[in-house]
Structure 1
Amino acid sequence: MFFNLFMIFFIISILQPIIKQQALRASRRRIIHQLEIKNKSRVITLIHRQESMSFLGFPVMRYIDINDSEQLIRIIQTIDDDMPIDLIIHTPGGLALAALQIARALRNHKGRVRVYIPHYAMSGGTLIALAADEIIMSENAMLGPVDPQLGQYPAPSIINVLNKKPADKIDDETLIMADVAQKAINQLYNSIVSLLPDSYTLDEKKHISNMLTQGFWTHDYPITVDVAKALGLNVSTDMDPLVYKLMDYYPQHVNTTPSVEHGYSQKNKNGK
């Protein structure tokens, strides 16, 4: 009897997370379909969260990688040229090569491209957003600088060493790193200039690229809506409520009591 109960519990433990994941995917697809009908567009998501995977419940943190770029490029290639694309991004960043591939695929799409950022799109996520005709951020969402990182150091900071010391006082390894850092900055600067849509003037493209790659801020500096607009980016805060609803179905892994909770009132800010 005990063995039978144990086996039932074991099977339920295995099936429960699988059923939960399938239910989450179905809910995501439903909201994505609603967005597509509402905006008459093709909706794609690039969302990286910690999710509880398998019955053991271990968290997996994801970043932009080659698998993401391959999948997104294949999807973009299947979309009709005149069909608008709405890309929802929520990511801490990731591999620069993958982010550039995605950004270029979006830039080459002939239809209108909008990027929605409900919370944050840092580093590589920002790089992808730059290729959009319009960036739609929530009022509290963040972008981030895209200055190259060489190991644990920002490329602009490595180059700055050359301005602090004479060359004969700098070791060979640092000089080599500074040379590579300058190449990395130049490459990314030129990539951003080519990625930004034609709605920007060349001077605007150069200014935006310069501010984002030259190390004016730390790599994790939060670029708010106001800062993004001051840079000259085409940013609006006309966030669709369905995007927030979609994010509810990408749960963050939680092992303990949630740190944020709320009541279940359906009233909006005006109390209606």
Structure 2
Amino acid sequence: MPCLNDILNEINALNVTQPNAVDVVRKAKIKKLNEYTERNVICYYSGWLSVEGKPVPNLSIDDMDKNGFMNTIEGLDCSLGLDLILHTPGGSITAAESLVYYLRAKFGKDIRVIVPQMAMSAGTMIACSAKEIIMGHQSCIGPFDPFVKGVSAFAVFEEFKRATEEIQTHPHTLPLWQVMIQKYPPAFLEECEKAIELATSIVPKWLSSSMLSDQEPADQDANIKSIMENLNNPGQTKEHSRHIHADKAISLGLNVVMMESDQNLQDLVLSLHHAYMATFLNTNTAKIIESHHDRSLILKYA
């Protein structure tokens, strides 16, 4: 299996004759994966890891992504199903919800999500909508407790709850809490409540209608409860960026297939992943949405 250095060397060797070698190598890797699986392949990749800490736009899941998926799906035989290669820090819950609706409208429930490295937050929600998640030992998903304007919705609720309790027992703390609560805009608590309700409502529906649809009702309910209590609960996960690896994801009740169970698939997926990482390392690319039939939306930054 080629490692990142091997892919970089392959690109450097091609650069002598082809200035767009990163694109040539990456597209060849996508095509090889498609030829092996005989399924449609769409890659959704964010370059957030290579620009961490910099103010780069277009790194997160947003409504612009729909245009990328519409572009890549044009011309595909949707009856062949979809393998969605997902590498993202997350983003908008409503954008993720709309993407899942669109992908299901095109491919039905024959969607596999492959996580070569990281599919966090709203990316994990998208993964939960698939019939199965393919992960390797290096892969991780993450909690999807919602954030509103960059703030944990659950944390806001906890802060308001604590303020109420302390003011009741220690009235002299009222001026301090007034200052602290004023940092939130009007109706912010209501926004947070609606975000929590949305995340809590859509993921169970996706799980029950696809990934867990073949389970007995009692088993399905137990698994959904386990998944929600562990992935939509900062009291359990402690940190929104917590990495949930394959063994933990399986124990929660998610249908995870280990990448290592098919060595050829693992080699093809990770070679493709390294090709994307090489693209982000060598170019000013923020996001790529790309299919095996040479359609792509590539967003760059200055």
TM category (shorter chain) comes to 0.7 to 0.9
State the 1:238 CA deviation.
Answer: 2.0
Task: Report if aligned partners of 2:116, 2:135 keep a CA contact under 8 Å in 1.
Answer: yes
| In 1: Cα distance, 2:27 partner to 2:46 partner | 17
Q: Which residue of 1 is the match for residue 189 of structure 2?
A: 178
Partner of 2:252: 231
- Is 1:93 equivalent to 2:115 in the alignment? no
- C-alpha change, 1:60 and 1:32, in structure 2 (3 Å) is same
Distance 1:199 1:48 in 2: 25
1:30 and 2:33 equivalent?
no
Among candidates 80, 84, 101, match of residue 83 of structure 1: 80
Query: What is the SS of the residue equivalent to 1:114?
Result: strand
Aligned length: 233
The CA distance in 2 between the partners of 1:63 and 1:126, in whole Å, is 13
Aligned to 2:10: none
CA 248–231 in structure 1, closer or farther in 2 if over 3 Å, else same: same
- Taking the aligned partners of 1:51 and 1:96, their CA distance within structure 2 comes to 21
Rg larger in 1 or in 2?
1
RCO comparison, higher one (Cα < 8 Å, 6+) = 2
Equivalent in 205, 208, 213 of residue 227 of structure 2: 208
Tell me the residue number matched to 2:152: 154
More helix by share: 2
| Equivalent residue number for residue 5 of structure 2 | none
Q: Once the two structures are superposed, what CA deviation does each residue of 1:25-76 show, in whole Å capped at 9, x if it has no partner?
A: 2222222111112111000001112699xxxxxx887332333222214544
Identical positions, percent: 28
Please, which runs of 5 or more residues in structure 1 have no aligned partner?
Answer: 1-15, 53-58, 256-272
Partners of 1:99 and 1:238 in 2: how far apart? 24
Q: Distance in 2 between matches of 1:61 and 1:50?
A: 9
1:139 shift after superposition: 0.5
Match of 2:296 in 1: none
Distance in 2 (CA, whole Å) between partners of 1:190 and 1:107 is 18
- Contact 1:91/1:121 (8 A) holds in 2: yes
Q: When the two structures are superposed, what TM-score results if normalisation uses the length of structure 2? A: 0.67
Match of 2:112 in 1: 114
Gaps of 5+ in 2: 1-14, 51-55, 168-173, 213-219, 284-302
Aligned partner of 2:269 among 220, 238, 243: 243
